[in-house]
């Protein structure tokens, strides 16, 4: 009986020690080491909620982009160059005919990289964009995926028109306010979201 009493006493002492231990969600423990509470407090409907909204560009006056104006800066996509060659269109001349103003075509490093990857078939396209009239924009990002690069560039700088025939890229750019899109349609260049330009859809 004495042995049983001793064992029981030891168990009770250990149980008492366990009770004394601080729970992991105790407020006395540092916040980074503290366990998250199991029950979350219900949201107070009267409490003001803070939402992070992306800051609008200062270039936009309502829906009108004040940074757009002659000479126009046009970012070229890979397929726009290829469509122009297929339709036998001179890029700079047709851009000027579309916008009735001087146009400066810009080619990013990733667009050049995409054309180089396509091989010998697109040798003519590479030769055209290496013309001195085409401005080259260096890319700091990794990889050669042009769509993401063009979207990021026009989101940051509203001074560009994007020239593309890619449906997915067009859809992404339409979500960015104040950025017109140039594309090849019926053997000529058309521009959307710029109503004063030739060939622009009437709204």
Average pLDDT over residues 115-142: 86
Amino acid 203: pLDDT: 47
Residues 139-189 pLDDT 10s: 887 777 888 889 988 888 888 999 999 999 999 998 888 888 999 988 899
Confidence at residue 17, expressed as pLDDT on a 0 to 100 scale = 62
Residue 129 CB neighbours (<10 A): 18
Torsion sign across C-alpha atoms 149, 151, 156, 162: positive
Q: pTM above the 0.85 mark?
A: no
pLDDT band at 77 (very low <50, low <70, confident <90, very high): very high
CA distances to 42, 43, 155 from 25, in Å:
18, 20, 44
Mean residue pLDDT of the chain comes to 79
CA distance 34 to 39: 14
């Amino acid at each position: 009986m004495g042995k049983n009493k001793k064992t029981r006493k030891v168990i009770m002492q250990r149980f008492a020690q366990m009770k004394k231990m601080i729970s992991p969600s105790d407020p006395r423990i540092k916040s980074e080491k503290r366990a998250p509470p199991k029950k979350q407090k219900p949201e107070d409907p009267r409490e003001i909620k803070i939402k992070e909204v992306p800051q609008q560009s200062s270039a936009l006056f309502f829906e009108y982009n004040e940074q757009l104006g002659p000479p126009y800066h046009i970012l070229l996509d890979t397929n726009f160059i290829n469509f122009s060659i297929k339709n036998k269109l001179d890029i700079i001349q047709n851009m000027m005919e579309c916008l009735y103003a001087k146009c400066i075509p810009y080619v990013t490093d990733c667009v050049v990289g995409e054309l180089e990857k396509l091989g010998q078939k697109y040798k003519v396209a590479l030769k055209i964009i290496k013309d001195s009239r085409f401005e080259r924009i260096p890319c700091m990002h990794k990889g050669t995926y042009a769509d993401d690069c063009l979207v990021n560039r026009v989101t940051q700088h509203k001074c560009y028109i994007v020239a593309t025939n890619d449906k997915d890229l067009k859809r992404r750019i339409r979500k960015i306010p104040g950025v017109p899109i140039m594309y090849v349609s019926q053997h000529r260049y058309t521009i959307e979201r710029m109503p004063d330009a030739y060939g622009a859809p009437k709204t």
